[in-house]
Chain A
């Protein structure tokens, strides 16, 4: 199953025919042979991934495996060096004309990003704006939605993420979990057709992880298409429709969560999952010890 870039490259004709069908049955995200290097180091060595509409895909793997980089390539925070990514039938970052690829202008890139929401590991809320202003900023500035209408929608979204009582709080006055939930509301305010989550709970204190995962579960249930880079195995097992295990810039194994997490076929997947489980156990042991001391 270990794919090298060579045998992972589909023939040009099959690629073209598949992407022309941008109907409802076509994948929302279609990535083929995506390659990316930083200063001569290959970080992505030919990634293929299809994400269907309404599907939740979890990207798992050790740090440095390239999963965050791949996520950032989908909304062009990183430019890819090779391969192609289509989102909803549109080629990401380029236009194909007369058999040549042409870079999109900054404005066209901004338009492509509108429909893709992103949630960052470090939240990246705008600290000089209140929670409400964070959520209304992009609809007002980018989509030209009226202030009043944007505010009504923002209040709804803040209620949806359980922060209906905090519209005028500044990010510094909120806990990490609350900030991340505002960040999710901010991304949803643009009515994206795809949500990208880049390790959304990795910067949180353990007791705050649950509230963010709960919001993400609700979102998945509502049918949002999501790609989630995460180390939360429980979330991947329960919520994901499809799990992708990456290591060293390639997809090692993918499939249903019960197969990949429950019955991994590859040594690298097995050892990674084992490491995660032993960390989990240690954490649980710590908690148990703390509990027994409380008595």
Chain B
């Protein structure tokens, strides 16, 4: 019996498959990288030292914070909240709300952001010098009834407001909401209808079922494209100069480049900043995806209940 173990196949010690193609590709890439690095070092016009200097200048940093980062955060906040609301309206039983949601998406998805921002910046102020908040048709009512009050509670000076960062953020946010609505709608539709049924069978109303059961599961599908949208928004804040809001990364950097004739170093500086912000966002997206992937096998946060292979899905 002792020699029976030697007859039975033991531990596998196989030779790996060779991959000569990988080595060829590595060689080609190394040569190309070498050529590029050499041009960086030998061509004085790149001037990376100046680029690094421009990156740290006060107007550039200010533009990065105020225009690009606050602009992105504000516009995406409006976009995500607005987008989810529009998506829920789109899927509602109320035909009027469905129609409103459709027209909104049709309009804001249809016009370029540059055009929208230019219109908000100069067009709206030309049409309406000021906007009064009060009772609808209050002024007409007041003159008709001969009253002194015109039912206005609050007045917005459009000419002062329309060239501010806030106006730009609202413009970008409204446009973003139209795209986010489609993403949120796809996410909501991706959740099995049995989930909403189970929630309503427990006595939850439609709002509770949406908020507590459907949306949290939809987030798993919504987060990756939203990360994409956020990174796109970082770049689209450069359109704020159409408002015109000039405390914005690209405007400030290229202004320095034009003034000092260091055009290419300025472009390098702005590219570096956009890449840095984009990288930080990608890390944030990773953690968000892990958070909303709870209970779906991948990256289960609770290691004690590691999922056994082949266990049934939900």
Contact = CB atoms under 8 A, between A and B. Distances in A.
Contacts of B294: 128, 170
Interface stretch (B168-176, B182-190, B196-204, B257-265): B196-204
Interface stretch (A24-32, A116-124, A232-240, A279-287): A116-124
B197 A122 contact: no
Contacts of A174: 311
A145 interface: no
B197 A175 contact: no
Contacts of A113: 200-203
Contacts of A187: 201-202
Contact of B295 (A77, A142, A171): A171
Interface string B140-183: 00000000000000000000000000000000000000000000
A110 B200 CA distance: 7
A129 B306 CA distance: 16
Interface in B298-314: 300, 302, 304-308, 311-314
Interface string B191-210: 01011011111111110100
Interface in A151-203: 168-176, 179, 183, 186-187, 190
B95 to A, nearest CB: 16
B213 interface: yes
A77 B203 contact: no
Nearest to B194: A124
B-side interface size class? 20 to 34
A170 B312 contact: no
A183 B198 CA distance: 10
Interface in B270-314: 292, 294-297, 300, 302, 304-308, 311-314
Contact of A176 (B192, B203, B217, B312): B312
A110 B312 contact: no
A126 B198 contact: yes
B288 to A, nearest CB: 14
B197 A77 contact: yes
Contacts of A107: 205
Contacts of B307: 172-173
A107 B207 CA distance: 10
B244 interface: no
Nearest to B301: A170
B138 interface: no
A122 B311 contact: no
Contact of B212 (A130, A137, A172, A186): A137
A40 B192 CA distance: 26
A263 interface: no
A114 interface: yes
Contacts of A117: 201
B63 to A, nearest CB: 40
A75 interface: yes
Nearest to B306: A173
Residue with the greatest number of chain A CB neighbours at <10 A, chosen from B205, B297, B311: B205
Contacts of A172: 295-297, 300, 307, 311, 313-314
Interface in B230-267: none
Given A129-B295, A170-B295, A175-B312, A75 B212 contact: no
Contacts of B202: 113-114, 137-138, 142, 186-187, 190
B216 interface: yes
Nearest to A175: B312
Contacts of A106: 205-206
Nearest to B206: A106
Given A127-B296, A169-B305, A173-B305, 4 more contacts: A120-B194, A124-B197, A126-B198, A126-B217
Interface of B: 192, 194-195, 197-206, 208, 212-213, 216-217, 292, 294-297, 300, 302, 304-308, 311-314
6 contacts: A75-B201, A124-B197, A125-B198, A170-B295, A173-B300, A173-B307
